[in-house]
Amino acid sequence: MTPLRIALTVALAAWTLTGDASAQNYPNRTVRLIVPFAAGGAVDVLARLMAIKLSEQVGQPVIIENRPGAGGTLAADAVAKSAPDGYTILQNTAGAAVAPWGTIQSSTLSSGLHPPSTTTRRPASMPRVFTR
């Protein structure tokens, strides 16, 4: 299985876990994929490749929103504060995934992010996907 196929499988599995009774018609609008790094980096490129394939598979636009800064905290905070409807996804790395948990307000985290899932096998990048 290729890393892209693994990434797509993991992302789609994460989306199915975020549903409720209205999940029968999910997705019915644009999905945001938030990347905590500047455009053009490895994580951004992987997120853009995932967005293209996911958009084709689910029939809805998947847009990339780059929110670099504060070691990934700004992006993680934006995802944690978003509506828990499965339309906002955080693409992160293992190193950056640790930083936000110590710096985001506990009230934000208590609203809950789904556990991370690995999208590649490369230990250097280890992108993670968080859904809200």
Q: Whose CA is closest to 129, among 99, 101, 88, 100?
A: 88
Domain ranges of the chain: 3-9+29-131
Fold of 3-9+29-131: D-Maltodextrin-Binding Protein; domain 2 (3.40.190)
pTM: 0.64
Per-residue pLDDT of the chain (132 residues; tens, 9 = 90+): 676 667 667 666 666 665 555 556 888 999 999 999 999 998 899 999 999 999 999 999 999 999 998 888 888 888 888 998 889 988 877 665 555 455 555 445 545 565 555 555 555 444 556 666
Cβ-contact 112, 122 below 8 angstroms: no
Number of H helices, E strands in the chain: 5, 5
